């Protein structure tokens, strides 16, 4: 069973807000010149911000934040955020891998940006309502 696709827009303004909240002011998250100098294609979103957006999708599917029992990802590709008003989009999908007798649902999660997977081995376990 496939769950409803969720899409999250990410702009440079989002990166500034996340940097303020997290304290992560690494210039790769706001300075194109620095990001390209260190070999990146441009400014990239914070990995934990990307993970949080995908986690928001998992929470929506679960119906409640406390229904999320486990959530793990590996970062495979950076989310490049252009310096414009549109930003970029992270598209999140999930497929139910298993429903256990204990009332847990295991999800295989996919997150893409510009058609490229940005997370691998993204999995979540949620407590099934009822």
pTM, 2 dp = 0.93
* Cα–Cα distance for residue pair 76/95, rounded to 1 Å: 19
CB atoms within 10 A of CB 61: 20
The domain locations on the chain are 2-127
The tokens 């702009």 sit on which residue?
11
Mean pLDDT in consecutive groups of 10 residues from the start of the chain, 130 residues: 93 97 97 98 98 97 95 97 97 96 96 97 88
* Cα–Cα distance for residue pair 70/102, rounded to 1 Å: 14
What is the structure's pLDDT at 50?
98
* Cα–Cα distance for residue pair 77/120, rounded to 1 Å: 9
What is the structure's pLDDT at 130?
56
- Looking at 3.30.365.10, 3.10.129.10, 2.60.420.10, 3.10.20.30, the CATH number of the domain 2-127 comes to 3.10.129.10
Q: What is the largest CA-CA distance in the chain?
A: 53
What is the structure's pLDDT at 40?
97
What is the structure's pLDDT at 1?
75
* Alpha-helical regions (H) of the chain: 12-22, 32-37, 47-62
> Strand 104-113 vs strand 116-117: parallel, antiparallel, or unpaired?
antiparallel
Are 90 and 50 in contact, with CB atoms under 8 Å apart?
yes
């Amino acid at each position: 069973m496939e769950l409803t696709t969720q899409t999250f827009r990410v702009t440079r303004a989002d990166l500034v807000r996340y940097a303020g909240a997290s304290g992560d002011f690494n210039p790769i998250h706001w300075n194109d010149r620095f990001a390209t100098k260190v070999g990146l294609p441009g400014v990239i979103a914070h990995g934990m911000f990307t993970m949080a957006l995908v986690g928001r999708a998992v929470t929506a599917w679960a119906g409640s934040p406390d229904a999320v029992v486990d959530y793990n990802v590996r970062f495979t590709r950076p989310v490049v955020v252009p310096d414009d008003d549109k930003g970029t989009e992270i598209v999140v999908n999930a497929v139910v891998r298993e429903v256990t007798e204990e009332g847990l649902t295991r999800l295989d999660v996919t997150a893409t940006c510009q058609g490229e997977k940005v997370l691998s081995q993204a999995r979540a376990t949620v407590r099934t309502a009822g």
